Chain A
Amino acid sequence: MFRAARSSLSLFVVIGALAVLWEVVKLLGGDPSEAWTPPFQWTVASDLNMPHVWDIAASFVQPAQRNGPPLGLVLVNAGIFTFREAFGGFVFGAVLGLALAIVFVHSSLLERALVPYVVASQTVPIIAIAPVLVIWLGGGWLAVALISAYLTFFPVTIAGLRGLRSPDPRALELMRSYASSSRDVLWKVRLPAAAPYLFAAFKVAATASVVGAIIGELPSGIRDGLGGAILNFNQFYVSGPPKLWAAIIVAAIVGIGFFALVRVAETVVLRGRVAPSDA
C-alpha cells in the first residue's frame, strides 16, 4: 500500500518534470510572444511542433470537430476501441503462442521444422501484410486483432518454450517414477514452472498487441480507433497540433495501462512464488 502510494507519487513527479522540461525548451527556443522573446529559434520547439502543455491539456475538453463531442471523449472511445482489438489480439496470440510452445516441447521434429519460421515471422513487416489480411478477412475488428496476434504470439512461444523446459530434470524424473502421464507432467510440473516466464512474455505481448492494433488500423481503413485518430489528426495537423499530441498521450496510456494490468495479474497469480520481475 505504502509502496503503491510512493510509486504513484514518483509517477506524478516524473510527469510534472517532463512537462516543466517541455516548457523550458519552449522558453529557450520556442515562438516569441509579447511577454518573452526566446534567445534561440528552434523549429522543433515552435508552437506548431511542440504545442504548449496547457494547449494540449485544453484540447481534451474542446470539441474535436465543430459542434462535435469534446476531443477527450472521442479519444477515450478510440482508446477503448483499440484496447478491445489489442485485447482480442493478445488472447489469440497468447493461446496460439502457448499452444505452439507445448507442441514444440513434445515434438522435437516439429520444433526443428517450425521454430525457424516462428522466428523469421517477426522479421516480416506486419504493416506490409496488413492490407492483404484486410482483404482476406474483410476489413474489420477481427483483421486488426489477427494482426495484433501476429506480434503477440512470438514472445509467448519463445518464453513458453524456455519456461516449459525450465523444471529441474530431477522433478521430471520424479514424475516419471510415479508413472505419471505426460499430461500430468504438463499440468503439475511444466506449466507451473513456466508461469513466471509466461508472465514476463505476457508483459512484452501486451505492449506488442497495442502496437499491432494501432498498426493494423492504418491500412485497414478502420477509423474508430487510435491508429485512425493519429492518421486523421496527422492529416489536419496544421489546424490543430495539440490534437495529435492528445491522441499520442492516450495511445501511451493504453499501452502502459495494458502492461500494468498484466503486471497486476502477475503479482496476483505468482503471489508468494517469486518477486515480480520488473519487465
Chain B
Amino acid sequence: MTRRLAYYVPAVAVFVGVLGLWELVVRAFGIQQFLLPPPSAIAFAFVEHFDELTTVGRNTLVEAVGGLVIGGVAALVVAFATARWVTASRTLLPFAIAANSVPIIAFAPIMNNWFGILNPLSKMMVVAVLVFFPIMINTLRGLTLVDQASLELMRSYAASELAIFAKVRVPNALPYIFTALKVSATLSLIGAIVAEYFGGSRSVLGQFIITEAAFFRFANAWAAIVVASAVSIAFFLIILAIERVAIPWHASARIADSS
C-alpha cells in the first residue's frame, strides 16, 4: 500500500510545486490578471461562480453524453452489420479511416442549421459524428482481427458462423470497443465545447468561457476550463470502471491501447 502511494509522490509533488510556483511568479512579477490569473484567483472564481459553473457544466455534459450515445450506437450497429461480410468490411475500413482524418468540427455550423442552433441536438450530432469513426473502426478491427487458430478451433467443432460471432468475435472486440470509448469520452466533451463555439444556448461551458475571456475575466474562464477538464477526466474514469467490471479478464492481460 505504501509502495503504491510512493509511486504517486512525484506527480503530486509536481502538482503542488507548479501551483506554488505559478502563484509566486504571478505575485512577484505583478503579472496582470488577464495574462495569467494566479491559482488562488481561479479557486476564488470557482467558489464564487459555483452554481453557474455546475449549470453550464451539466448542460455541456448532457450534450457530450447524448452525442456519445448516438454516435456510439450508430458505430456499433454499422460495425456489427458489416463485420459479417469480411470483404465489405475490408473495403469499408480504409474509407472509414480516411473519413476519420476529416476535421469533423467543420460540420458544427452545418449541424446548427440542420437541427436548430438552440437545440442541444445540434451539438450532440457534432459529437456523434466525431466519435462515430474511432468507435466504428476499433469495433470493426476487434471483430475481424481474430486469432486464426481460434477460428480453426471453432471450425473443428463445426461451429456455426453465428456461434463464432457470439463466442469469439464479440468477446475479442470488447477490449477494442472500450479503448475507443475511453478516447471518445474525452473527445466528446471537447467536441461539445468546440461545437458550442459556433453559437447556440449561452448556458454552456463553451459559451461561458468565450464570454468571460472576451471580457478579460480570465480567472472565471480558467475556473470553467478546470471544470471542463475535471468533468472529462471523471467521464473517462467512469468508462474505465465499467471496463473493469465488464471485462475483468482483460485487466491483467491488457493489450496495448490502440489509438
> A110-124 vs B: 1/0 string, CB under 8 Å?
101110110010111
Give bound CA distance, A116 to B18, whole Å.
14
Q: Does A155 have its Cβ within 8 Å of any Cβ on chain B? A: yes
Q: Does B10 have its Cβ within 8 Å of any Cβ on chain A? A: yes
- In this complex, what residue of B is CB-closest to A244? B109
Contact B194 A127 (CB under 8 A): yes
Residues of A within 8 A of B36 (CB): 132
- In this complex, what residue of B is CB-closest to A112? B10
- In this complex, what residue of A is CB-closest to B104? A211
- In this complex, what residue of A is CB-closest to B34? A135
Which parts of B175-194 form the interface with A (CB within 8 Å)? 186, 189-190, 193-194
Contact B13 A122 (CB under 8 A): no
Contact A112 B7 (CB under 8 A): yes
The interface stretch among A23-31, A60-68, A186-194, A246-254 is: A246-254
Q: Chain A's interface: helix, strand, loop or mixed, by majority?
A: helix
- In this complex, what residue of B is CB-closest to A109? B10
Give bound CA distance, A207 to B259, whole Å.
12
- In this complex, what residue of B is CB-closest to A201? B259
Q: Does B110 have its Cβ within 8 Å of any Cβ on chain A? A: yes
Give bound CA distance, A260 to B13, whole Å.
42
Contact B100 A218 (CB under 8 A): no
Contact B114 A211 (CB under 8 A): no
Contact A113 B194 (CB under 8 A): no
Contact A132 B95 (CB under 8 A): no
Q: Does A126 have its Cβ within 8 Å of any Cβ on chain B? A: yes
Q: Does A171 have its Cβ within 8 Å of any Cβ on chain B? A: no
Contact A116 B109 (CB under 8 A): no
Q: Does A174 have its Cβ within 8 Å of any Cβ on chain B? A: no
> A226-252 vs B: 1/0 string, CB under 8 Å?
100011001001000100110110011
Interface size, B (range): 35 or more
Contact B206 A125 (CB under 8 A): yes
> A122-154 vs B: 1/0 string, CB under 8 Å?
111111110110011000000000000000000
Q: Does A215 have its Cβ within 8 Å of any Cβ on chain B? A: yes
- In this complex, what residue of A is CB-closest to B258? A279
Q: Does B143 have its Cβ within 8 Å of any Cβ on chain A? A: no
Min C-beta distance of A17 to chain B, whole Å: 10
Q: Does A49 have its Cβ within 8 Å of any Cβ on chain B? A: yes
Partner of B103, one of A120, A203, A237, A251: A251
> B217-259 vs A: 1/0 string, CB under 8 Å?
0100100110011001100100000000000000000001111
Give bound CA distance, A109 to B110, whole Å.
47
Contact B106 A226 (CB under 8 A): yes
Given contacts A49-B113, A113-B14, A124-B229, contact A252 B95 (CB under 8 A): no
* Residue ranges of B at the interface with A (Cβ–Cβ < 8 Å): 7-8, 10-11, 13-15, 34-36, 91, 93-95, 97-98, 100-107, 109-110, 112-114, 137, 186, 189-190, 193-194, 197-198, 205-206, 209-210, 213-214, 218, 221, 224-225, 228-229, 232-233, 236, 256-259
Beyond contacts A7-B94, A131-B210, A230-B106: 10 other A-B pairs, Cβ-Cβ < 8 A, are A10-B91, A49-B110, A109-B10, A112-B8, A113-B14, A123-B190, A128-B213, A201-B259, A203-B101, A258-B101
* Residue ranges of A at the interface with B (Cβ–Cβ < 8 Å): 7, 10, 14, 43-44, 48-49, 109-110, 112-114, 116-117, 120, 122-129, 131-132, 135-136, 155, 158-159, 162, 200-201, 203-204, 206-207, 210-211, 214-215, 218-219, 226, 230-231, 234, 237, 241, 244-245, 247-248, 251-252, 254-256, 258-260, 278-279
